[in-house]
Amino acid sequence: MRAGINIYPEIKPEMAAFIYRDQLTKAQIIDITEKYAGRADLPENMGDTLKMWRIDDLAVVDAPLAEDMNPEGEKLAFTTVQVVVNEYGKKVVWTKKIEKMHQTRISKEVSELLTRNYALTSLQVTLNALVAGTKVFYNSSGSTRVTVNGPITNTILKRVKRSFQRDGAEPMRERMKAGLSTATEGVPESFIVFCHVDHEPDIKKLENFLPVEKYPDQDKREVGEIGSCDGFRFIASRFMKVVRAGASSTSSSSYLTNGDNGSSSAPDVYLMVAIAQDSYRRVALRGNRAVSINIFPPGISTKEDPTGRTGVASWTAYLAAVIEDETRVARIEVACSNL
């Protein structure tokens, strides 16, 4: 994540960069999808659409060559993926009175607030792309969202794993390192499941579940990680997608409705996302920092505000995410048990 903070007029650029590095870790804690995404840059002044392509596998040779024959020619086949980059942003305003009367440094508080808002926006942009995938699994005997009739199970995980293996999708073996670099680091071989924090009780009931506290290498655990089971690691966030009252095929008394057994007569449907290696990418606009935060504290005289009574701060970023290979992303739609 390339970025920077500009605070006018009270902090030097190098100090602003230091503040941002401090906030970067907090942003990555919020955005559970960032470390496992591939990266791509869209060149400046080249439009808003990035096209990516890969060469498809060749057909496997299952017969030997005759003594006097050459191999038959096979044309190369290509798969193309494209994504449109859009600009996002947020602005906040506060007064000179707040700046003068508040006991803490407002500029730093605002930078934390904006960084968090950026991280949440980036997470939602990525999740919107991931949950739109075509490979879907339901906990039901049917094949629609309204027929969901239970929580996550070992059977669903086995079905997802078998589908990944049939399509040649490989478990995750590396992730992006934390910080501003683009370097990678190895992780325990497994498929990753992004899930809602409400899933934790059901996940811990799975057969063969291993809690994160018992991992042999604690340095490789993720913030929000619950544990692992049947070759999957579960990383939870309260910002995962939930379709309120999305199911209608089972009694709502057994499962969460409206987040906590609310007034709805139909259970909520929770969207989990399982990913394999090289499954999705996040795109940034090359030549610009991925996110730019600008803070103008009160006291700065402008034509619009000659007495400097108002402070303004904002972040802007060009964001996009795209599934690189539909066979390597699986959406799992389940309910959550009502405790």
Range with the lowest mean pLDDT among 8-22, 58-72, 115-129, 143-157? 8-22
The pLDDT, as a whole number, for residue 304 is 75
227 pLDDT more than 50: yes
The residue ranges of every structural domain in the chain are: 3-56+78-129+282-320, 136-280+325-334
Instruction: Identify which of 114, 108, 66 has the alpha carbon closest to the alpha carbon of residue 92.
Output: 114
Phi, psi torsion values for 171, nearest 5 degrees = -60, 160
* CB contact at 8 A, 172 and 275: yes
**Selected residue with higher pLDDT from 74 and 205:** 205
Indicate the pTM of the whole model. 0.83
Question: Mean pLDDT lowest for which of 8-12, 239-243, 247-251, 328-332?
Answer: 8-12
Tens-digit pLDDT profile for residues 310-319? 888 898 888 8
pLDDT tens column, 166-197: 999 999 987 766 554 555 666 778 999 999 99
CA distance 136 to 55: 25
When the candidates are 1.10.1060, 3.30.2400, 3.40.50, 3.30.420, the CATH number that belongs to 3-56+78-129+282-320 is 3.30.2400
Q: Is a pLDDT exceeding 80 seen at residue 300?
A: no
Cross-strand pairs, 321: 282
Q: Mind giving me the DSSP string for 199-267?
A: GHHHHHTSTT-EEGGG-S-GGGPPTTEEEEETTEEEEEETTS-EETT---SS-GGGB-STTTT-S-SS-
Q: Which is higher by pLDDT, 322 or 310?
A: 322
pLDDT recorded at residue 5: 54
pLDDT of 198 over the 60 cut: yes
Helix (H, G, I), strand (E, B) or coil at 274: strand
Please give the mean pLDDT across all residues of the chain. Answer: 82
In this predicted model, what pLDDT tens digit does every residue of 8-51 receive, in sequence order? 555 455 444 444 555 555 556 678 898 888 877 776 666 788 77
User: What's the mean pLDDT in 63-67?
Assistant: 83
Query: Residue 310 and residue 99: Cα distance in Å, rounded?
Result: 9
Residue written as tokens 């409705």? 257
